[in-house]
A and B are shown apart, each in its own frame.
Chain A
Amino acid sequence: MKPQAQYPGADRAAFVARVSGALGRAGPTSPTEPAPQVEDRVARVTGPEADLGAVFAAQAAAAGMTVHPTNRAGVQREVRAVLERLGVRRVMIGEGLMLEGVAADLSAAGLELVAWRERGFAAMYDADAGVTDVQGAIAETGTLVCCSGPGRARGLSLVAPIHLAVVRRSDIVPDLVDLGVMRASEAALPSSVVLITGPSKTADIEGILITGVHGPREVHVVLVNDA
């Protein structure tokens, strides 16, 4: 960190001391009681016993995403079919196990591949669609979990009017409270983790729902049964 003193504003110790003062003590001391436990009986909506693929598919559809079920062998075919049906010409493709061979296949089918790796966002504005895998999915809410990292740019799921995500059944965790578990299994938290639940939307004008405000107008999920 840069030395804070160069910036305007308060100094850290004084700032925290004021908070301690308001709490009626001299300085920060570790809490005497533990943070509230998140008990399943109180907070869990979806349990591991549920049919996670079915719950996820239903919730994702309810959130406005289109789900395309397939199996392992069918991924390339399904991705191409969806993009062709939507008239996509320029596509950007992320890296991931599920996406191997997808770029070659789409290229062979005559789609233009957008080179986004070096130029980041600047290259993405002209793309018609972004294709990604996911680093998790949540059945309870029909949510995609997309993390940033090498081969996984933030903009792939945001900038183009269409986002297509390939989700394996085994990616799906039951409930939002399982988020903590997911983090524990990662070495370091990625700099960007975004939970995506439906297309970009607004209801700012007279409460009328409109999709595709800033982000994707459509989100398609190719759901791979890898059980």
Chain B
Amino acid sequence: MTGSPHEHPFDVPLPFDLRPRAEKAVRDLQLRQFVGSATRGKDRGRRDGFREVFGDRSEGVRTLAGAIKQHTLDHLDWYLERFIEAAGGAGVHVHFAQDGAQANAICLEIARRQGCRLCVKSKSMVTEETELLPALLAAGIETIETDLGEFILQLDHDAPSHIVTPMIHKDRAAVGRAFARELGVPYTDDPARLTAIAREHLREKYRRADLGVSGANFLVAETGSIVICTNEGNGRFCTSAPRVHVAFAGIEKLIPGPEHLGVMLKVLARSSTAQPLTCYTHCITGPRRADEHDGPDEVHLILLDNGRTEILREETRELLRCIRCGACLNACPVYRRIGGHSYGAVYSGPIGAAITPLLKGVHNFPDLPKATSLCGACFEACPVKIDLPRQFIALRRRMVEQRVTGAWERAVFRLWGWSLRSAWRYRLVSGVQRVVLRWLGRGMGPNDAGPSTRRWVSRIPGVLKGWTGERDFPAPASRSFRQWWEGEGRSER
């Protein structure tokens, strides 16, 4: 399986080359089977859940969820101000980070001032994005990922490969080995036993932890609340047991009011894990109050931009509606085969393929906008109706404009465009193409062949060799349809 110890899958040389990883993943039959069956199961569960509960209102509720997010984004500066006021009023310290390094620096400064030594962390894609874990460790703060999947990945020095089910690529034997090696327990591959071992181990950490770090699923502007959805309960421990809680959130997490929260909750868990609601939906509005018995003394929220304001510009704005449910990953025929690590970044699948190039530069991730068949399965699955195929096409246009697309590719398409401008040009280009391809396919089929027999090209040289790398390419017939039509075709009618 992917990820040998000590080699972080997202420390990739740029520009990132998807192919070697995808090829390796595609050849890993066990990985494909896991990821394939897990994603298909979740995809089916999502569709069944929506049909059962909303019936023919499914479209309507997704449209509403999308409209809520879009409205908030369209007025994001205003809602940010409202949120900051409300959260501040509830006693939350709100911080502002332009990039990941700033966000981490803020968190370290909080830890330093509070004298925090042991940090328990719940699952958060944003902290993966800012690479908080290595920053905390480097500062000498013992830090434990507490989501079971993330805990296992941390033990195994591996990285998440799915935004909801991070260790979708690992089997129980790998977990058993990691536990035996790193925790010194006898090997077992019984998931219940493994979970119990993790529970005991992590409880010890909760007892001693003085810093809890979490992400956020939603920020409610009107009330200043931080909403965190989890199933395991580790998120509740991390935000309740230590005396300091630091939440990280991208600015796109805002929604206007609590009435909108209900709608977003209705679509999130159903799209994500086919549950009506996650086990715990935790709504935090400020630190422990004077008359309370437990909870953190301080709550900090770090609002992160890190390239989001660039995406907020008109054309790509809808991408920020994303609620990280993972439904588009589960629905995607490409993700199902190549898995999350092939995308070379924290966010994988269709949404990752769309936002990674925007966050990190299209020239750094030129393969991602092409890692799609444009089939539209992601669009259909998305609970906030992000038109991902349209975004991929826009990204490809941007790649051409920014000259990220190779010279050869541009030349080929320019020729193609030229040839489509009149009948004679088309005839000329397709004639040349036919002659060349049939010549390349010589010796692989009868020479005299009529329109129905095929020659096969097993190797096209140069820039097009990718076409024949994995399969033969059918050469065109000896005559074009036009030629046949003008000869006997017409009379055969």
A interface with B by C-beta (< 8 Å): 1-2, 4, 7-12, 14-25, 27-31, 33, 35-36, 38-39, 42-43, 45, 59, 62-63, 116-118, 120-122, 125, 140-143, 148-151, 153-155, 158, 175-180, 183, 189-208, 210, 212-216
Contact = CB atoms under 8 A, between A and B. Distances in A.
B259 A117 contact: no
A202 B198 CA distance: 12
Interface in B58-87: 60-61, 64, 67-68, 71-72, 74-78, 80-81, 84
Contact of B105 (A8, A176, A180, A196): A8
A121 to B, nearest CB: 5
Interface string B202-224: 11001100000000000000010
Given A21-B309, A22-B312, A122-B207, A9 B103 contact: yes
A186 to B, nearest CB: 11
B207 A9 contact: no
Contacts of B251: 19
Contact of B294 (A35, A62, A155, A177): A155
A118 B294 CA distance: 9
Contacts of A158: 233, 236-237, 240
A9 B95 contact: yes
B53 A45 contact: yes
B447 interface: no
A193 B228 CA distance: 11
A105 B116 CA distance: 42
A154 B294 contact: yes
Contact of A176 (B167, B266, B303): B266
B277 interface: yes
Contact of A7 (B95, B256, B309): B95
Given A200-B232, A206-B172, A10 B96 contact: yes
Contact of A121 (B195, B198, B240, B257): B240
Contacts of A23: 74-77, 312
Nearest to A138: B277
B172 to A, nearest CB: 5
Given A7-B106, A36-B71, A150-B291, 9 more contacts: A33-B71, A155-B240, A177-B259, A191-B90, A191-B295, A194-B281, A200-B233, A205-B195, A215-B237
Contact of B258 (A29, A183, A215): A183
- Majority secondary structure of chain A interface residues (helix, strand, loop or mixed): loop
A213 B199 contact: yes
A33 B38 CA distance: 42
A206 B33 CA distance: 11
29 contacts: A1-B93, A8-B105, A16-B80, A19-B309, A23-B74, A23-B76, A28-B77, A30-B78, A31-B75, A42-B60, A43-B64, A120-B293, A140-B276, A148-B288, A150-B292, A153-B293, A158-B236, A158-B237, A176-B265, A191-B292, A191-B295, A192-B283, A194-B282, A197-B278, A202-B149, A205-B167, A205-B195, A206-B34, A206-B191
Give the interface centre of B77, B241, B260, B279 by most chain A CB atoms within 10 Å: B279
A212 B199 CA distance: 8
Nearest to B233: A215
A123 to B, nearest CB: 9
Contact of B231 (A143, A150, A175, A202): A202
Given A23-B77, A28-B80, A192-B284, A197 B232 contact: no
B217 to A, nearest CB: 12
A36 B149 contact: no
Given A201-B232, A214-B202, A19 B71 contact: no
A112 to B, nearest CB: 19
Contacts of B165: 203-204, 207
B289 interface: yes
Contacts of A30: 75, 78
B458 interface: no
